[in-house]
A and B are shown apart, each in its own frame.
Chain A
């Protein structure tokens, strides 16, 4: 099977996954007791009004018709209207999404860089103090509940390093004078560092473990022994022979862990009161804002599917043998 076949197959699979996610999304929220209309309470909400509204929203039609309507709206990018703010969900998602992406990127880059370095070093120095130390450290981070690590960092670290406990902007910024661009972005970054570190440390533990075990596998291979026998430098053995081949499982597993990053981001943002998608979701749970929750869930699912699809393509690029 050739290259295009593979890409077509993975694209079809990604599409299928999206379709299933959308359907789950539709079914789950339809399983809720009550409809968008039955919960309305206002003076003008007479029975007639509710009926008319239900008709407008298509709630008086069959489930299958509703499903078709839902899909139609989605294709047009219409995610519905928030039950609380009464604004389109799509617009409501945009601002928090930007904040989340910035924070997650910072945390993920940190964890990948340090996870790979520590993992490779631990595997190379297998059985030494370096290995055991980093193994225990990463196991410990791996075993901590993210929200708890966040609380610990707020309690024990934030004040000592002089970083804010939460939020996204200092309340006094720009009160005395218009902040310069530098001040503005530095303030943003300050608020981003601790949540990103929390997420990054948990991921760091996981990535170190993954990289270490993948490296151990490849360093045990015959071709590494051969490379040693040929007198190649350690650098070349580790990075060109070992790491290059260990990349395959590493890429897959990091892509798979994206689902976790999304989940971790939710609790991290909650702990640090960081106004991203996660905080918005927690808010929506509290207020039972189901249309918003539905839209956010769909957005998160899409992004994870997208990144997994990208990982599939990267995987193909990395290993010409991959055909299935």
Chain B
């Protein structure tokens, strides 16, 4: 499931227009994002709440998730706020514990993708030449191979435990990060201060770690936040197709359980709706945060009439509004 993320969109538009990628303002971009974009704040709050729920799951969950505590598919009641599933297990507890695995897979897989994509992007952009050509061809190829079938095949081949699933998702989703970072590094490399540092005798290591990486890291972070959403998605797909880790409970597993346990036939909406709502909320939150960060990093959006966010194509008060 390659939901084409917004960064690819920005990159593609920039490429189509033929202008150079834009540099992020490095300092305080995160606080700037949250100050200027309220939806980023909303996203952050949602994610923090879910992370807290995941951390304190044992304290919050009213029942054990390993034993039957009610009737099969019992509707919501004061004892079971969200009813029970096909095994009589409390849904709310399952949901709370499920957040652990889903978030863990999301964060860890996004991290794997960030490391691979960041490394490929920096190497490719910084060294250019044949390194660039080879790495970018590999990236292009990975970009075209449909990811869910590839994930299915890999999960079927390598076995169904959490670590493998994290690695597989990471291996598949690094491509867009690599391309984005490469474009950024290419423009940073040509900056005067980098050239000066080079002529002062700075080695490649120093240039990359001291000058290039700090410049691209905001973009890398924004991209990773978007990647978390993709990874959580991928986990639900894998679990739904019965390729998830059979020993763990995740939101994906809960959706699978609702489907396989015939929740529809039993009219048990409480087994179907909540896990999907949780996934949707987290993904919405990550998308809002990631996109707001990218917007905050894009100075083009703040330049005079080019600031699309301010430019009213249909003037509301009889004149064009500019910043």
Contact = CB atoms under 8 A, between A and B. Distances in A.
A144 B280 contact: yes
B240 A147 contact: yes
Contacts of B276: 144-145, 148-149, 151-152
A21 B145 contact: yes
Interface stretch (B64-72, B91-99, B309-317): B309-317
A143 interface: yes
A13 B140 contact: yes
A147 B149 contact: no
B50 to A, nearest CB: 14
B2 A296 contact: no
Contacts of A259: 1-2, 144-148
Contacts of A248: 12-13, 16
Contacts of A258: 146
A31 interface: yes
Interface string B248-269: 0000100100110001100001
B12 A262 contact: no
Contact of B154 (A28, A146, A264): A28
Contacts of B284: 139-140, 143
A154 B152 contact: no
A220 B311 CA distance: 7
A278 to B, nearest CB: 9
Given A154-B264, A253-B9, A301-B146, A32 B237 contact: no
A301 B145 contact: yes
Contacts of B314: 124-125
B4 interface: yes
B153 interface: yes
Contacts of A304: 144-146
A194 interface: no
A202 B281 CA distance: 15
Given A145-B236, A305-B144, A213 B157 contact: no
Contacts of B9: 209-210, 213-214, 249, 253
A143 B137 CA distance: 30
Given A24-B145, A148-B276, A151-B272, A249 B3 contact: no
Contact of A220 (B2, B3, B275, B305): B305
B13 A214 contact: yes
Contacts of B263: 151, 155
A248 B16 CA distance: 7
B273 interface: yes
A178 to B, nearest CB: 32
A271 B236 CA distance: 14
Interface centre among A29, A142, A220 (most CB of B within 10 A): A220
A247 B273 CA distance: 37
B18 interface: yes
Contacts of A134: none
A253 B140 contact: no
Interface in B135-174: 137, 140-141, 143-150, 152-154, 156-158
Contact of B264 (A127, A165, A262): A165
B233 A145 contact: yes
Interface string B219-258: 0000000000100010011001111000000001001001
A213 to B, nearest CB: 5
Contacts of A24: 145, 150
A220 to B, nearest CB: 4
Contacts of B6: 209, 213
A216 interface: yes
A300 interface: yes
A40 interface: no
A305 B288 CA distance: 31
A288 B155 CA distance: 12
Interface string A259-275: 11011101100110000
B13 A267 contact: no
A41 interface: no
Given A16-B141, A17-B141, A140-B284, A260 B149 contact: no
Interface stretch (A168-176, A185-193, A279-287): A279-287
Contact of A31 (B143, B157, B240, B309): B157
A213 B140 contact: no
B37 interface: no
Contacts of B242: 282, 285-286
Nearest to A288: B156
B259 to A, nearest CB: 6
A26 to B, nearest CB: 12
B106 to A, nearest CB: 13
B48 to A, nearest CB: 18
A76 interface: no
Given A213-B9, A213-B13, A151 B18 contact: no
B8 interface: yes
Nearest to B234: A263
Nearest to A299: B149
13 contacts: A124-B313, A126-B311, A127-B309, A145-B233, A145-B252, A154-B264, A206-B3, A214-B9, A252-B12, A262-B146, A285-B152, A300-B146, A319-B16
Interface of B: 1-4, 6, 8-10, 12-13, 16-18, 137, 140-141, 143-150, 152-154, 156-158, 229, 233, 236-237, 240-243, 252, 255, 258-259, 263-264, 269, 272-273, 275-276, 279-281, 283-284, 287-288, 305-309, 311-314
Given A147-B259, A259-B1, 15 more contacts: A28-B153, A124-B313, A126-B308, A145-B233, A145-B237, A145-B276, A148-B276, A151-B272, A154-B264, A209-B6, A248-B13, A263-B237, A293-B156, A304-B146, A308-B144
